[in-house]
Structure formats: C-alpha cells, structure tokens
Amino acid sequence: MPTVANFVSIRDANVTIPSSDTGGLNDIHLQDIDLPGLSRGPAILFYRLRPKGRCTLQVRINGTVLAKQNLDTSPALSFHEIFFSTELKENGNELTVSVSGEGSVVVSDFVIFFQVAV
C-alpha cells in the first residue's frame, strides 16, 4: 500500500523553559497530539529554539527520548529529528520538552511529519 506524508502543527507560540511565568518549571507537556491515519515508518519532528546560557535540552515523545542537546547562548536554531513511528500512536501522543542547567531555552514551532497509508 503506498504512503504519503502528512503533518501536524503542535505549537506555534514561543515558550521559555524554565520560566518565571510557570513558577520555574523546567518542562512543558504538549498533550493530546493526534496523528490521523498514522502508518509505520520514519517520522520527523521539527522545532525552533533560542538558548539563553548553558543548559541541556531534552525532547521526549510518549516517554522516549528523541533528542538531548547541550546548548550555549546562540542565535535561534532550527532542529529536526528523524525517528521511527513505533514511538507514536494515532491518538493521544505527548511531547515533553525539558531543560536542565543554568540557562533557559525559548522553544516554538513544533511540527511532526509522519506517514499515512493511502
């Protein structure tokens, strides 16, 4: 059965981790991410970030670590991570982004590309 790519935009707005707006919490949980028609195969997660100071960023989907990156103050960056969709479900996925260390990170523009059987 042939497959095509589909995508879901998860979050467009900037969020700073950790943030005084969230009481200093060092992570965000983006929940209830649905991927209609998901079929097995590679998927790609795209996101933007702007680090402020030394820190480590970790990105997980449904509890599985997709990326862990040491960062330092730099201009805005765009990242992508290719992974197998066995980590994904058709409904109810959760993306968790956490920051540890001295600095903070502004994150935005989370998009998942995934395969759909036609």
Return the domain boundaries, the chain.
Answer: 3-117
102, 55 in Cβ contact below 8 A?
Answer: yes
Segment 59-111, tens digit of pLDDT: 999 999 999 999 987 788 899 999 988 889 999 999 999 998 888 999 999 99
Residue type, 40: R
pTM of the predicted model as reported, rounded to 2 decimal places: 0.88
- Tokens coding 71: 């960062």
**pLDDT tens for each residue of 12-44:** 899 989 865 555 678 899 999 999 999 988 999
Q: Which of 55, 67, 52 has its CA nearest to residue 110? A: 67
DSSP string, 8-68: EEEE-S-EEES-GGGTT--EEEEEEE--TTB-SSEEEEEEEEEEESSEEEEEEETTEEEEE
Per CATH, domain 3-117 is 2.60.120.260? yes
